[in-house]
């Protein structure tokens, strides 16, 4: 049977065209399977996570993450009891007081604009 199909595939007939189409479809199917395997291996997700971690380590740092988390938690809790305008004012006052009073006046830390920025990002995330 296979010998008969092979012999027919050598003749310039419609069967030859069908085999060509099937061969091209096989290449396409192989490419699709390769891409699906790549997606299922999640290597692309690991690459994205590594780039995100590198960016966070460069720009966010642990201190900025702490400011973001505290401001977000503070905003989440306060919005349960206060109107949004008062929550925004209260959290901004808390961020400014921490930087100006605790860090600068009392000398307990280093006042940085980056901490204020991440505190405001936490405020926005806490209001969502």
Instruction: Note the pLDDT of residue 1.
Output: 47
Regions in the chain scoring below 70 on pLDDT: 1-42, 44, 56, 60
Distance of alpha carbon 94 from alpha carbon 88, whole angstroms: 10
Look at residue 14 and give its three-state secondary structure. Answer: helix
pTM value surpassing 0.85 = no
Who contacts 45 (Cβ-Cβ below 8 Å, separation ≥6)? none
Distance of alpha carbon 67 from alpha carbon 94, whole angstroms: 11
Distance of alpha carbon 117 from alpha carbon 64, whole angstroms: 8
Contact 90, 119 (CB under 8 A): no
């Amino acid at each position: 049977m296979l010998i008969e199909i092979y012999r027919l595939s050598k003749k310039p007939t419609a069967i030859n065209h069908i085999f060509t189409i099937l061969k091209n479809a096989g290449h396409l199917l192989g490419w699709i399977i390769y891409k699906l395997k790549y997606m299922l291996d999640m290597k692309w997700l690991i690459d994205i996570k590594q780039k995100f971690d590198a960016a966070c380590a460069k720009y966010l740092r642990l201190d900025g993450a702490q400011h973001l988390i505290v401001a977000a938690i503070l905003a989440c809790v306060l919005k349960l009891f206060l109107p949004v305008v008062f929550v925004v004012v209260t959290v901004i006052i808390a961020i400014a007081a921490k930087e100006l009073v605790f860090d600068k006046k009392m000398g307990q830390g280093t006042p940085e604009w980056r901490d204020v920025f991440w505190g405001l990002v936490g405020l926005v995330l806490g209001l969502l």
